[in-house]
Structure 1
Amino acid sequence: MKNVLTILTVLLSFNILSAQDQIQTQNGSFTIHLIGHGTLYLEYKGTIIHIDPWSKLTDYSQLPDADYIFITHQHGDHLDNKAISKIIKEDTKIFAPKVCDAVLSDFKNVSYLKNGDSFKTTFGSIDAVPAYNIQHMRDDQTPFHPKGQGNGYVFTIDGSTVYIAGDTENIPEMRDLKGVYIAFLPMNLPYTMTPEMVANASDMLQPKILYPYHFGNTDTNVLLDLLKDSDIDIRIRDMQ
């Protein structure tokens, strides 16, 4: 009994019992595991795709090893070598923007992607897309996320398109993303978007399912009210 209680305590303490959503596709389904903040992983036919693993949120030694790891940008809540080291295996492939190269230098099988890069994998296609600030700036008037440094990612898995925006605002390039089925949009001031910006991004993208994520203390009810007349399935999860 002591061992069972100890394991349960660890699971609860590290949020390993994260929310899971099953998404139906043309020929089956995939699972989204929502860990928290900007961190999640996808599971499709035995393939594990981790996005922005962060060891502050969970015990990565208890999670499945990664076949693929995608990093959106270099900030510590998105690029965490400790978390990566717990889920990496001999053939794990890591993808990140070039700004992450110094931090990822100890790992092999790392590919650096720039905005506009596109390729196919064993589970589908990947597009690296822009992620940056237009309005929100640091005290020295430089953007929190400069244009061209970070990536968002568009995964097409068995005909279903999943857009993981990374740290960005409602940038005009979102209008170019067609057929988005699921969108993960950040909503955390001062670094990313206000609820009004997320609502505008949703108008541009027209996803079927919207997950506001990386939302900190932002009141998600504001977004729900802004989009109350839309047909978007807005899913609020524990993704502060």
Structure 2
Amino acid sequence: MKLAYQQAAAEDYEAINQKLEKKDSLEVLKWAYQAYGDDIVYACSFGAEGMVLIDMIYKVKKEAAIVFLDTDFHFKETYELIDQVKQRYPSLRIELTKPGLTPAEQAEAHGSELWKVNPDLCCKIRKLIPLEQELNKYTAWMSGLRREQSSTRANTQFVNQDQRFQSIKICPLIHWTEEEIWMYINLHQLPYNSLHDRNYPSIGCEYCTKPVQKGEDPRSGRWANTNKTECGLHQQG
């Protein structure tokens, strides 16, 4: 995987994105699986975007690999949704990957509420390190990032040089709006996390996710009352 990443220069990514520029998401997915086959994994958080992408992936590759970072701190509604997805798309290879430390071990080493005193370290232990270990098994990975979600995601391309994980990151939904995401979910009657109906537009771990009031930034409920806006999965460097 490292070799494939190192051999691809910035010009290569620009050329690929120019080729895909006028393609729709399904065509980008077809290109991705033709290019990487079983050597690509979708890192899914099972948010609204995730449900759209899973449904589209299933149309292209019914035995696609999907990994969920099971921090042990997710809402029960998230785990219930994963069970629904497994029933609806039985051939998908969905893996729930765990951190190296159990919640009890983390509490013993770092205190009982690490997410409060050092949320970056908590994310590193429970998300970043597990994902890095998973991505070492693949050449490329997929994400449901959309450009309109935040200023930090506004320049995301279909195919991205991922310096953080020394990998290739593919984002088929970059042009989708939130309205289009929900139109697709409703049109295809897809299951989704019931917390979305209770003012949770962006859902992460239970301890670090709060409901959002009308008119507030959709991601303001993540790590509320801190300066933190991302877990670090999509930050470069």
Question: When the two structures are superposed, what TM-score results if normalisation uses the length of structure 1?
Answer: 0.31
In terms of fraction of residues, the more helix-rich structure is 2
Indicate the structure whose relative CO is greater, using CA pairs within 8 Å and at least 6 residues apart.
Answer: 2
Question: When the two structures are superposed, what TM-score results if normalisation uses the length of structure 2?
Answer: 0.31
